[in-house]
Structure 1
Amino acid sequence: MNHLKTLALILLLNFILQNAEAQHKPFLDNIYDYIENPQMIGLNQQEGHVPLLPFTSLEKAFVNAPEQSSGFLSLNGKWKFLYCVNPEGINREFYQPRFNEKGMTEITVPGNWQMQGFGEKIFRNVSQPFKADPPHIPRDYNPVGSYRKTFTVPSEFKDKQLFLHFEGVSSAYFLWVNGQEVGYNQGANEPAEFDVTKLVKPGKNTVSVMVFQYSDGTYNEDQDMWRLAGIFRSVYLMATPKVHIRDYYVTTDLDEKYDNATLQVQAEVENFSDQPINGYQVKVTLLDQNNLPVLTDLTSEKITLDKGEKTTIRLNAAVKSPLKWSDEKPNLYHIGFELIDPVGLTTEALADRIGFKEVEIRHQVLYVNGVAVKLNGVNSHMQHPDLGHTMDVETIRKDFYLMKQFNINCVRTCHYPPVKEYLKLADELGIYIVDETGDEAHATEYISNMPEWTKSYVERAQKMVLRDRNHPSIIFWSAGNESGSGFNICEVIAAGKRLDPSRPGWMYGGNDLDHPGSNPIKCEDIIGPRYGTPFELKVFYGESPEEIDPRPSFMDEYLAATGNSLGGMDEYWDVIYQYPRCIGGAIWDWVSPGLRERYISTPDASSNNISAALMGKTALVAGKTGQAVQLTGTDTWVELYRDPKLDISGKALTVSFWVKPREWNGNGTFLSKGFYQFGVEQTNQKELEFYVGNKKRTSVKTVLPDNWQDNWHLVTGIYNGSLLQIYIDGTKKGETPCTLTIENKPFAINIGRNPEIEAQENPNHYSNASFDQVAVFDKVIPVEELLNPTEATKKSAVCWLDFDEQKTNSEFFSMGVGGRTYGMIWPDRTVQPELWQVKKSAQPVSVKLTDEAKGEVEIWNRMYFTNTSELEAIWQLQCEGSVVKEGTVETSIPALSKANLMIPYLPFEKEKGKEYFLLLSFRQKQDKPWAKKGFEIAWDQMPLQITAAQPEESILGLKAPELLDTDQAIQVKGSNFLYSFSKTTGSLASVKFDGTELLKQEMDLNVWRAPLANDMDQWTVGASGLTHLPGWGLGQSNIWSALGLDHLTTKADRMNWTIEPGQIILTIESHSWAGELSTCLLYTSPSP
């Protein structure tokens, strides 16, 4: 143990020495000591604080309009910009005041540079886009954006303290003002602020920022999303008095009856002047929703501060029966802060909105204002189809309106703090927020147990809490997502609790049932699980007693909304409502992550005219003949449509293409139809391989020629049923015996990518080459014909791509390489069908029919703070889609209560054989910001008993059927029909009516269904040891195919029958197997 302590001390001293050395060298002489150093999180920054907007009067502060502030200058807008692919290519003079900007382009801030035409858009889930080796990052591909903006300082800023504020930059950056070094920051989604008072001059000034796409901080930001970079949140200059309220913290403590409250205020005042000050006071004013005063005389004692000193002022006041804040009743109060100088003048005024709310955890249950609440939540990224990770207020507002309309009351901000406007709107509209630290180290979770990474974990949490802790919408905090279960998670939680003791709840996004030894983490206040079944949620959490674990259960992720999904919602919510410990969960996830792109295609010169899409940032360049397609090596490829003509199987194949490889980058997939079916790839710097396969693959390899790089070469692979041959530039370079039958697999043909293994978890580059005359044949073509192809040769191919032209087609939403179709709404905020299930399963009012004869129903008000009298209740008696009767009923059921009610739909006469339903619908009585009066929030449709109909006249008086026992079948014969049941399988083999056969084939037992997106997810089936078929992907549906569930064999065991007056009852027992499956089918002939 002593040796370990000594080693840890040596490592810590080494980091300290590195940091000290880094601070004494110019930034650009010392780049990697910053961006590969997990101890270097920031340099020369101000301590985090609440967002501030200073005014000269309280009246202006309450209006809170930035344009009325004499201390705010937005730097959003057009900036000058330089882009390069790695730090080796940077312009080292760009930040100098006299730098010539003519060679720079313009870029919009805030914005991701990939969304404005620079660099590549990369989507990854677990893996990094490069081989992980923390804290090191790739040297060959680490794009750098150099930003410059010239601005004029307003005259009102004279003699003020000036702070330059960045709300979000990915992932790390250096900052200069007027050519002078200011500081450094990493942490993409957390704010950073720099004191630039001594560097800013009157008149024109220049701010320069160099942003690195990857840094050691990237290992803490390995979120399941698009990996975009740049200054993507707002930038502004703030001017404050020399004596300044730099932070405030407001909490509300409710009494035991949750009626009266104590308002507790902490205000931190700092003296930035070069003189001691005394006689200053802080005054707090509280206004209600109608701007009427609640508190006006809450003023501190006079304070004395030495130069550079700061102090925290604490004030308390009793507030009688304030309106409380909750998701259903988001009552907000206006709070104002004034800094009063010794002569009684207001030198600075700030304002904010607060809510009176108290969150508690008692006996495994989460309480808000004394009421046990359930959270029907979603995970939501800051994701826009056109702006990337830059979010505008109107899109946020639309998201929240949709959430309210669909009974969603909670958002987990996956997997980082949102833009500050997000929380303001959540306060205003009533959405509970699980505010999540920007820590996710999914590919390298082991760093959670490494002390050199503690600062990187904790710093992000501290900035989040200090910025967001005054928002009433935040119900509890999250210590990050999938970052490991090491001690750094507990360090995050401990740091957060020191900064915000008002909320008892911290969770961590990563608990699952597969690792009971490390999950849940002991320091969590709220535990998982994630992606457990309803049964597991019930048995392991709902029914687990308090003495085993006193913490509430919140599913931070469940029911991944991928494609056609969200089956089982009712089963989950039955458990959630049944067990107090189960407080709900957050579905993965809210919005589909697609980015709007144009579908760009290139024509197929073969007679098949198969569509080929140019994916990513491809370009047409000079080719071997005409033009060629150039791939960048980063998430660019060509994908052919899954046309059946490309599903080549058998013992004949020719693939051919001209390729111009650039420098080897570790990936050499040239053409592929999956890992097994066929393909050509450069396996290393020296070898080329051609392969074909079925459940295994056979390949032939050759050594590359010396002039391989940066020259055009014709590569040809031929399989003739006995030999596998590879050619380069028309010369045979290798062959191997092969007699296997190529087996078709479910992957598309790709150029520059293997679609089976190079998807969303690919930690490598993609092909770094240009391609021309790419051809695939389902027969053998002599290589001489490919050297000088004719039009007839091209037409005879299965596909032939010349790349001489491209066509820009309609728009689509790109999910990137292997991206999954997450989301309950599309990127443009169009609702997907499964969102209606979310609305229904957790709807705030539930109804069941208790006595049909009396018209009695039981109504369960599942709202927490709202009486049903605030809703309009409308009933309808329906018959097969038509309304028979309708009306309204008055209800007055308290929150979380049940009551019986008579619905006056009686009397009415049922028509025999028809279906009747009673519908009860609950709708808004008043307009809401998110919905108009009459908007439906809950409904239940209850079936009434059916009065049996008389038999159809067509079968009355028919002759009784007879049974025929033949060698092959049991037959049931009537006057004009004949049913035949196979004695081999027991299946219905034939149905004849008036002599016409009605069955195309024998009826078989079918337990197969089309795989859904979740079934086909490329997770870990192949590595799990479960039965699976090579070459069919790693989704769950592979197991179904491997077990043979798509082609069962059936055998009849017993066939029995009884003949009764007027009818025959035939019972058939059979079993079907892929595995072993028994069935019992009962057939009864119609009885007249």
Structure 2
Amino acid sequence: MPAPRPSKTATLTAKDALVPWQNPELTGINRLRGRAYGYGYASLGDALAAAKPLALSLDGTWKFKVLDRPEDTPADFPSPTLKDAGWADITVPGCFTMQGFGKPIYTNVKLPWASRYPEVPDANPTGLYRTRFTVPKDWAGKRLILRFGSIESVGSVWVNGVAVGLSKDSRLPSEFDVTAVAKPGVNVLAVQVIQWSDCTFIEDQDEWWQAGIAREVELLAYPQVHIEDHFAKAGYDHVSGAGRLDLTVRVHATPAKGWKIRARLFDRRGKPALRKPLEAEVNWCEAKDPHRAEEHIAKLGADLPKVAAWSHESPNLYTLVVSLVDPAGKETDHARSRIGFRSVVIKDRSLLLNGRRVFIRGANRHENHDRTGKVVDADTTLLDIQVLKRFNFNAVRTSHYPPHPRWFDLCDEHGILCIDETNLEAHHHYHDIANDPRYALAFLDRGSRMVLRDRNHPSIIIWSLGNETGYGPNHDAMAAWMRHADPTRIMHYEGAIAVAGWDKGHAGSDLVCPMYPPPKDLVNWATTTKDWRPLIMCEYAHAMGNSCGGLADYWQAFENTPGMQGGFIWELLDHGIRKRLGSDMPVGADATATPSGRTPDIGWPGDTEYWAYGGDFGEATHDTNFVCDGLVWPDRTPHTPMWEAKTLFQPLAVRLLDAATCAVQVRSKYDFISTAHLAGTWQLTVDGREVADGKLAKLDLAPGAHAQFQVPCRIPSVLPGQEVHVTLRWHDTRDLPLTGRNHEVAWAQFALPAVAAAPAAPAVATRRNRLAIDQGRSTIAITGDGVAVEIERSSGRLLRWSVGGTDLLASGPATSIWRAPTDNDGIRLTDMHRNPLKNPNNPWEAKPVRRWMIAHLDEAQTTLEKLSARVVGDSAEVVARTRTWGADKAKAVIAEHRLRIAPDGSLAWSHRFDTHKDLPDLPRLGVHLTLPLGFEQLEWLGLGPHETYNDRRACGMVGRFASTVLDQYAPHIMPQEHGHHLDTRWLSLRRADGVGLLVSAAPMLEFNASRFDQMALSKAWHTTDVVADDCVHLHLDAAHRGLGTASCGPDTFDQYRVRTGQRYQLAYRLVPLVAGQDANAAHRAL
């Protein structure tokens, strides 16, 4: 390539009059063609070990200045003699918007400013970067290539004052030949980074807007004649087990006749996989043929009679080393790739990997770090894969752009199936840009360079044309190029089926890949269509806040409907940015950490740091907390839906065949490997306490096979009313790098028939003191021996319950119909208002919280309509009738609260709720009580240990669990309802001295114990707004609304809602507990 000429101005310009950053037809200047990401090596040994690549890292501390607009860039900015000592320091790689120069902005669909594409605002933050680097003396005579891993969004580059080139596309590398301008010794590199450009309109993804040099900067050295690119197609015949390697190698420069390519293949142990290296001559041409001067190709191939195939369960990798041999027979250059033999096809409406139908148990993944933004370090990248593997995920869609190359290296190594997605989203201009010929080259450029960079990775089984950019000829042109360049993979693009219909868009997508329809719509499609394509959801189960209700319903549909194969949950990660109270800037990567010692590491009461979302950095235009919609917190601590997914995704399906003999059937859901590596155990529990355990017979099931066996446990004799459960667990005995030895991968639990012993003889009745009732003017007092109960006449609420001089309740129970809205109930900062509904049938408008607000359920008041108290035998009975309503007193919940007070001080409550048919479905229906501060020790017999809701309960097992009330808190970035528990037989709350109370259900109830008031949570916008109360809030529910996924998807399914026009009942007893008294024994004694 001829040496670039010095620029007369500091801004690189294109041939036409448009400035480069507002010209979509310009995709780059002097940028080298795309190729496989990698390095050159001086020797075979170095290449095989991936050691000592011929590369110089330019990462580190650079000099930096930010301008208001690119036109303000001084003409002498690139000059080597410019004095920049007084400039600020900045870290590269890094987003300058995360380092105190500007601020991050969050929008989902709309752009941060009003503009007509491709024009951008005059106010356009522009970063000026400068650094010095030293070219080693022994690199003299080599070809030097300057590589930027990514620049957001337009980067212009100078070396020693000479204009080198211009880069577009914020998620792919840009390489420039600097051989003619970089010299041995010290050199000056200058980079101008412009935040807003014509690229902005097609990088309109649902994430933070940042700017800067977000990935590594490196200087690469090669011989003048060297391996420039290689593509290894590693095919697999699942019938014979044979592999086929087809290798295409491109050589740079014009070698003379006699240059060869030599290829060696090594297995995982480092042993040669070929009998001898492959060799082929590089095609060459005379210098007089200029049209072919840079196309020097060698093609090699080999059949391997038996290979270890790559899959997500057995990620078998081979190391390919490609060497360039000069006419004298000397190997002068080496390149390497790790490849895997596998096949990806669609047949009979099924996506087949290596001939097997594979369910996609996936998640969408953005790249984000709460301290560094788009810069995600290697440890965090590996942590993401570790989290996925530990929770039984097998796939990732790289939403919505190609990730850092190390992501695919790690997915190749550890076994994650990937959709590699083109960096294209024009959400704000959804129907326009895909049809605009000015952007046609940008579409093709981004798709082709992604394929060229990543096509050697076996973990990538699907290419994606991008996200939410409508559908048009620009897509079809890109898809045609990608299909021709790489026929080994299939194509995905949701827009192709969203715009024209699920049975259309075949040119753009080999999958029917919708977003967010409910299971019934999926089943209806799959059972009636004639389309040949499988249905795999590219987004579903929107994981915003306390979410993923109905995930089990989706998987019941996936696993029982031909033509459906799973999908990708939206999304893996909350994108909160760490921020400190009193500051308007992000907490940078070098700031002093203030960990709480808990997980997640911030968000707890008293913390001064919190995770920020849209609007928290002063943005006028933003989309609030919609950026916080992940399965894990920003520090990768899992939300409860991860445990739900792990249970639903586990590789064994277990069914109880006969409870009396404890006979079970186990079916393997593995796709490729046997179950020989699993070791099983059983535990027998009575009322949640283990009474026996043992080992299960070893399973060695082939994929899809099943076996029956009897669990070797003996059902014990129990007391009347006790429950017996058997829990089966399987652990992976392999010492895998990310999960370790004995990691639990599957479990199942079954209730067994209890053989009750003869009941004990009834205790001899002892004379008990009668209770007395004092009908006071403002209260009704019920007293007895050590017992004191007070009922407020005006409300019917209990004001005091004291036994033995200990106050056990501060107030309650009172009718409760409100919960702190979840993100799925409605987005707090946009949906929580009372504006009348224009279209009640529009689910985006008629969010549950808005219906509740219009009905004033958040301001619900309760009035007493009737109150009576009387002595019944040696007990006392209080009956209160109340009316609870919001906007309309006639549309109310009528409750009858019946209390029986025993002489020993225990309280037997029964509540009957009649709900008016014209009320909206309710958030919850039950009662609210408060306990004095100090009743912090929580224990319960029911589903646990995780929180459970009626549409997210698969992860809950019956057991006896201990916690604290504060540990029930889930610090969601937007505070909301959390900590609910289903199927509770009893719960106890105690002080540190062991004194407490028992809630004994008849037969079961739902509960929530918290230090936080639901209305206070409703009004909080951040975790730092949440203050623990000086009491314990206890909610006992007859019914509680499911969670659903309505923040972006279907509302809570009908069967999980609290429907009105019906009667609900709730019954339980409150019993005082003394220190050392077993709560379960007290429960059984009732």
TM-score when normalising by structure 1: 0.70
Q: 1:385 aligns with which of 359, 362, 370?
A: 370
2:307 alignment counterpart: 322
1:286 alignment counterpart: 265
Once the two structures are TM-superposed, the CA of residue 305 in structure 1 deviates from its matched residue by 3.4
**Preserved contact between residue 989 and residue 999 of structure 1 (Cα < 8 Å):** no
What is the SS of the residue equivalent to 2:189? strand
User: CA offsets per residue over residues 553-601 of structure 1, 9 Å max, x none?
Assistant: 121111121111111121111111112422211111112212222211x
Distance 1:90 1:361 in 2: 53
Once the two structures are TM-superposed, the CA of residue 861 in structure 1 deviates from its matched residue by 1.0
Q: 1:132 aligns with which of 99, 103, 115?
A: 115
1:5 alignment counterpart: none
1:264 alignment counterpart: 246
Change (3 A) 1:238 1:855: same
2:598 alignment counterpart: none
Once the two structures are TM-superposed, the CA of residue 1083 in structure 1 deviates from its matched residue by 10
Is 1:298 paired with 2:275?
A: no
User: CA offsets per residue over residues 802-857 of structure 1, 9 Å max, x none?
Assistant: xxxxxxxxxxxxx9954543222222222223211111111111212110122210
Is 1:1038 paired with 2:847?
A: no
Is 1:863 paired with 2:683?
A: no
How many residue pairs get matched? 836
Q: 1:911 aligns with which of 712, 716, 719?
A: 719
Change (3 A) 1:114 1:997: closer
Change (3 A) 1:1045 1:455: same
Once the two structures are TM-superposed, the CA of residue 527 in structure 1 deviates from its matched residue by 2.0
Change (3 A) 1:877 1:247: same
1:872 alignment counterpart: 679
Q: Radius of gyration: which is bigger? A: 1
User: CA offsets per residue over residues 12-37 of structure 1, 9 Å max, x none?
Assistant: xxxxxxxxxx9998735779521101
Q: 1:52 aligns with which of 24, 38, 52?
A: 38
Counterpart AA for 2:734: Q
**Preserved contact between residue 990 and residue 997 of structure 1 (Cα < 8 Å):** no
Once the two structures are TM-superposed, the CA of residue 991 in structure 1 deviates from its matched residue by 14
Is 1:335 paired with 2:143?
A: no
Is 1:848 paired with 2:659?
A: no
Counterpart AA for 1:1041: M
Is 1:553 paired with 2:535?
A: yes
Once the two structures are TM-superposed, the CA of residue 243 in structure 1 deviates from its matched residue by 1.8
Once the two structures are TM-superposed, the CA of residue 536 in structure 1 deviates from its matched residue by 2.0
2:919 alignment counterpart: 1074
Q: 1:822 aligns with which of 604, 608, 629?
A: 629
Distance 2:838 2:573 in 1: 34
Counterpart AA for 2:745: I
User: CA offsets per residue over residues 450-472 of structure 1, 9 Å max, x none?
Assistant: 11111122211111110001001
1:799 alignment counterpart: none
2:1040 alignment counterpart: none
Q: 2:527 aligns with which of 543, 552, 572?
A: 543
Once the two structures are TM-superposed, the CA of residue 158 in structure 1 deviates from its matched residue by 1.8
Q: 1:121 aligns with which of 104, 111, 115?
A: 104
Deviating more after overlay: 515-524 vs 384-393: 515-524
User: CA offsets per residue over residues 293-331 of structure 1, 9 Å max, x none?
Assistant: 112331113543345332322211011221111111111
Spell out the pairing of 1:1022-1033 with structure 2 (5 A cutoff): 1025-1027=838-840
2:472 alignment counterpart: 486
User: CA offsets per residue over residues 397-439 of structure 1, 9 Å max, x none?
Assistant: 1111111111111111111101011110111111111111110
Once the two structures are TM-superposed, the CA of residue 209 in structure 1 deviates from its matched residue by 1.0
**Preserved contact between residue 874 and residue 922 of structure 1 (Cα < 8 Å):** yes
**Preserved contact between residue 855 and residue 919 of structure 2 (Cα < 8 Å):** yes
Q: 1:895 aligns with which of 679, 684, 703?
A: 703
Distance 2:912 2:211 in 1: 67
Distance 1:461 1:347 in 2: 32
Once the two structures are TM-superposed, the CA of residue 39 in structure 1 deviates from its matched residue by 0.2
2:642 alignment counterpart: 835
**Preserved contact between residue 512 and residue 532 of structure 1 (Cα < 8 Å):** no
Is 1:428 paired with 2:413?
A: yes
Distance 2:495 2:755 in 1: 53
Spell out the pairing of 1:480-879 with structure 2 (5 A cutoff): 480-503=466-489, 505-510=490-495, 516=501, 523-540=508-525, 542-545=526-529, 547=530, 549-600=531-582, 615-616=584-585, 760=614, 766=620, 817-879=624-686
Is 1:347 paired with 2:332?
A: yes
Distance 1:916 1:512 in 2: 50
2:205 alignment counterpart: 223
Distance 1:1020 1:584 in 2: 31
Distance 1:762 1:447 in 2: 31
Change (3 A) 1:153 1:878: same
Counterpart AA for 2:94: G
What is the SS of the residue equivalent to 1:493? helix
5+ residue gaps, structure 2: 1-5, 288-292, 588-604, 606-611, 768-783, 788-794, 861-884, 897-909, 921-1058, 1070-1085
Change (3 A) 1:1001 1:765: closer
Change (3 A) 1:1034 1:580: closer
Percent identity between the two aligned chains:
32
2:165 alignment counterpart: 183
Spell out the pairing of 1:231-250 with structure 2 (5 A cutoff): 231-250=213-232
TM-score when normalising by structure 2: 0.70
**Preserved contact between residue 126 and residue 761 of structure 1 (Cα < 8 Å):** no
What is the SS of the residue equivalent to 2:262? strand
Deviating more after overlay: 177-186 vs 463-472: 177-186
Counterpart AA for 2:918: W
**Preserved contact between residue 406 and residue 839 of structure 1 (Cα < 8 Å):** yes
Distance 2:86 2:76 in 1: 13
User: CA offsets per residue over residues 983-1020 of structure 1, 9 Å max, x none?
Assistant: xxxx999999999999988976x665432022222678
2:60 alignment counterpart: 77
Is 1:201 paired with 2:183?
A: yes
Change (3 A) 1:174 1:1002: closer
Change (3 A) 1:1070 1:822: closer
Counterpart AA for 1:836: W
Q: 1:469 aligns with which of 415, 436, 455?
A: 455
Change (3 A) 1:133 1:992: closer
Counterpart AA for 1:563: G
1:376 alignment counterpart: 361
Once the two structures are TM-superposed, the CA of residue 1068 in structure 1 deviates from its matched residue by 10
**Preserved contact between residue 315 and residue 413 of structure 2 (Cα < 8 Å):** yes
Counterpart AA for 2:646: K
1:924 alignment counterpart: 732
User: CA offsets per residue over residues 64-101 of structure 1, 9 Å max, x none?
Assistant: 12xx23x3222112222221121243222110122122
Q: 2:294 aligns with which of 290, 309, 317?
A: 309
Distance 2:211 2:677 in 1: 47
Change (3 A) 1:1052 1:997: farther
**Preserved contact between residue 448 and residue 483 of structure 1 (Cα < 8 Å):** yes
Change (3 A) 1:913 1:191: same
Counterpart AA for 1:87: P
**Preserved contact between residue 157 and residue 189 of structure 2 (Cα < 8 Å):** yes
1:107 alignment counterpart: 90
Counterpart AA for 1:543: T
Once the two structures are TM-superposed, the CA of residue 255 in structure 1 deviates from its matched residue by 2.4
Deviating more after overlay: 520-529 vs 49-58: 520-529
Please report the RMSD computed on the Cα atoms of aligned residues, expressed in angstroms.
4.4
Is 1:91 paired with 2:71?
A: no
Once the two structures are TM-superposed, the CA of residue 499 in structure 1 deviates from its matched residue by 1.9
What is the SS of the residue equivalent to 2:251? strand
